[in-house]
Amino acid sequence: MTLDATRSSALFDILSHYDTYAEIRDFRFPGALKHYGPPFEPQDGNPSTLPALQTLVNKFLVTIPGLRNVSEDFWKVKVEDMIENLAQANLSESYDKGVIGLRKTLATAISALIEYPIRGTFGGFAQIDDSNQQYDLTSADDLARGFQHFMNGCIYGTALEDMAKTGAETDNLDAHSILVKAFHEFVLVNLASFIHFTLVLSPKGQYLLKLIESANKLIPYMLIRQTLKISNVATMINAMVKIVLAKMSVTGVTNWIGLTKSRDDGMNLLQYIITTVLYWDIRELEGRATKIKRDPAKLNKEQLQTLKDYALKPQAEQEKLRQQSYDESIPIVITTLRASSIPHDLTDFQQSQALEYLSLNLAIRDRREIIRCLCHSYPDRLTTAIRQVVDAYEPNIRSLHNAVNLSDSLGDLEAFIRDIINVAKIQIDRHGESTVPTVGDFVAVNRRHQYSLHKFLHQICKNDPEIISLYMAWAKTAASLFRPDTIAPIHADAAPGTDAGAGAGTSNLSCQLNDLFNTLDSMSQQEILPILDQHACYIDAMHADSLARLQKVIKCPPSKNPAIAKVLL
């Protein structure tokens, strides 16, 4: 049986979607990188266990100017060790908490974003007719068409070169072509929508916002800005490295002069920020856990201790209990208590308390493990990895220092982050009524700060043509990899993906998808065909929905809440 183009596209979408998320999720298991292949472990003759992600990393990430100059041990030792340490920490699962956690939210968001380059990498971006370059910047259809045309121009034409040429002449967006303006508007509005969903609509959005705000308060912007003003580049870089990476502790000093040989020689600024923010969070979580223990209708001591001990169980035992809970459709807290021969006949209220208590203890342990892995591990892979990246990018930093006012640019970034934080907060008035920020508010923030980015890019394009040439060569090479004629055939054990456009380029893998489909028996094929048809309809409906939402966002005005309006003035 031969699949038509619509069904092939649907199969593309399903396989790439599930494979991308599965590959990201597999990082929670120790040894995930053992058969990953370059740039981590060398290929051992077997296909990569994470083919989609490995392809993206090898084709795009490790070839970035600067990063391509790091030594092999940066990937094989430093990055791999950090990932492995976090996997061995056995961080909690959302299933155990009964809610979608922050890490799962971020993993899902990342998966949704990188699906597109994965599809483009494996399926290609078929060339389209972009001769009609008249766009209404208030029309969602025109903005989406403009985005597709700009991508087409990057891959098959000179869109990148034209944009850089105009960017070197002026920082005025109006001076660019209508194609660039349509692309710019599409990105601006979608970025606002993404930030709004992540910080406002998602279940853990306000919690993530609190972490960002806490971390932002600890960044010494003034000190860093003053350091960036140092005219001598070498002195400036050394000073910045000391500010960010110097370990400030008595143990660090005594280790340096040879009086002690302690493994834990303190923390640098980055580690201090991570530790401080997470310890603030731990203190709040412990307070909530203590409140549950003091509740008159509380669980008994044995039950509370059993739930607390669950967080310390090996990963295999936790997986076994989760599977039992799933198979029998009973709460994880009941499964855990029953497995330890503890009374598990709980009221609805007690069950709710038990789940919250388990969730709090898992969250506390997660934060302690993250602090241990990133801030108190020996050897300190995080610090040495950052030092190595700084060394690799030193020529680029020198060029940027001469081309751009880095101090003012950091000030602009600080102002943008501050406004995003202030706008994203859900306001509650004295009557207890809440005002939720709209997407229009974030569009307004992006518009308010867009000139800062335009100015930054203009300074680079105008004052440093060498670095522009360097990154332009990388970008053109990367874009060319989305051409169907540059894509090598993939094997059945690799993860096929669809292209960056809706169904375009699917023919590049049609034969392989048909071969894969025909390995199934006829009964399985007949079961799958309706699923493919249903998914094709779902994709069409999703695209129509997406355009409708984009149109609403374009027309969505900023909210009239005084607190938000004050930020947007």
Do 122 and 528 contact (CB within 8 A), yes or no? no
SS3 502: coil
SS3 428: strand
Closest C-alpha among 401, 409, 299, 403 to residue 360:
299
Determine the pLDDT at residue 46: 76
Dihedral of alpha carbons 208, 210, 213, 214, sign: negative
Do 456 and 409 contact (CB within 8 A), yes or no? yes
Q: What is the pLDDT of residues 510-534, one digit of tens each?
A: 888 888 899 999 999 999 999 999 9
Q: What are 49's two structure tokens? A: 């266990």
SS3 435: strand
Distance CA(128)–CA(504), nearest Å, equals 9
Distance CA(72)–CA(40), nearest Å, equals 8
Distance CA(236)–CA(242), nearest Å, equals 10
Determine the pLDDT at residue 63: 94
Distance CA(39)–CA(75), nearest Å, equals 6
Which stretches of 376-405 are DSSP H helices? 381-392, 394-403
Distance CA(291)–CA(415), nearest Å, equals 38
Ramachandran angles phi, psi of 435, nearest 5°: -115, 115
State the helix-helix crossing angle for 178-196 and 439-463, rounded to 10 degrees. Answer: 130
Q: What are 256's two structure tokens? A: 């340096």
Determine the pLDDT at residue 491: 45
- Cβ neighbors of 186 (< 8 A, separation 6 or more) are 143, 144, 146, 147
Q: What are 451's two structure tokens? A: 């000139």
Determine the pLDDT at residue 35: 83
Positions of the chain with pLDDT lower than 70, given as ranges: 43-45, 248-265, 297, 486-508
SS3 562: helix
Please state, in angstroms and as integers, the Cα–Cα distance from residue 347 to each residue in 94, 480, 516, following that order: 23, 61, 51
Tell me the residue length of the chain: 569
HEC assignment per residue over 259-292? CCCCCCCCCCHHHHHHHHHHHHHHHHHHHHHHHH
Distance CA(216)–CA(214), nearest Å, equals 5
Determine the pLDDT at residue 423: 93
Distance CA(148)–CA(127), nearest Å, equals 10
Do 458 and 171 contact (CB within 8 A), yes or no? yes
- Residue spans of the domains in the chain: they are 127-202+426-472+520-568, 206-403
43: left (phi over 0), alpha (psi -120 to 50) or beta: beta
Determine the pLDDT at residue 414: 97
Determine the pLDDT at residue 266: 79
Determine the pLDDT at residue 372: 93
SS3 427: strand
Distance CA(427)–CA(435), nearest Å, equals 5
SS3 92: coil
SS3 4: coil
334: left (phi over 0), alpha (psi -120 to 50) or beta: alpha
Determine the pLDDT at residue 228: 95
Question: Omega of the bond prior to 379 within 30 degrees of 0, cis?
Answer: yes
**Within 13 Å and on the Cβ side, how many CA atoms surround 24?**
20
Distance CA(236)–CA(401), nearest Å, equals 9
Angle at 23 between CA 17 and CA 29, to 5 degrees: 145
Q: Which DSSP string corresponds to 294-327?
A: T-TTPPPHHHHHHHHHHTTS-HHHHHHHHHHHHH
Neighbouring C-beta atoms of residue 314, cutoff 10 Å: 9
Distance CA(272)–CA(268), nearest Å, equals 6
**CB pairs under 8 A, 24+ apart, for 345-354?**
346/299, 349/297, 350/297, 350/299, 353/292, 353/295, 353/297, 353/298, 353/299, 354/299, 354/303, 354/307
Determine the pLDDT at residue 94: 87
Q: What are 98's two structure tokens? A: 């009964």
- Cβ neighbors of 352 (< 8 A, separation 6 or more) are none
Q: What is the pLDDT of residues 172-224, one digit of tens each?
A: 999 999 999 999 999 999 999 999 998 998 888 899 999 999 999 999 999 99
Q: What is the pLDDT of residues 128-172, one digit of tens each?
A: 887 788 999 999 999 999 999 999 999 999 999 999 999 999 999
Neighbouring C-beta atoms of residue 382, cutoff 10 Å: 22
**Percentage of the chain with pLDDT > 70?**
91
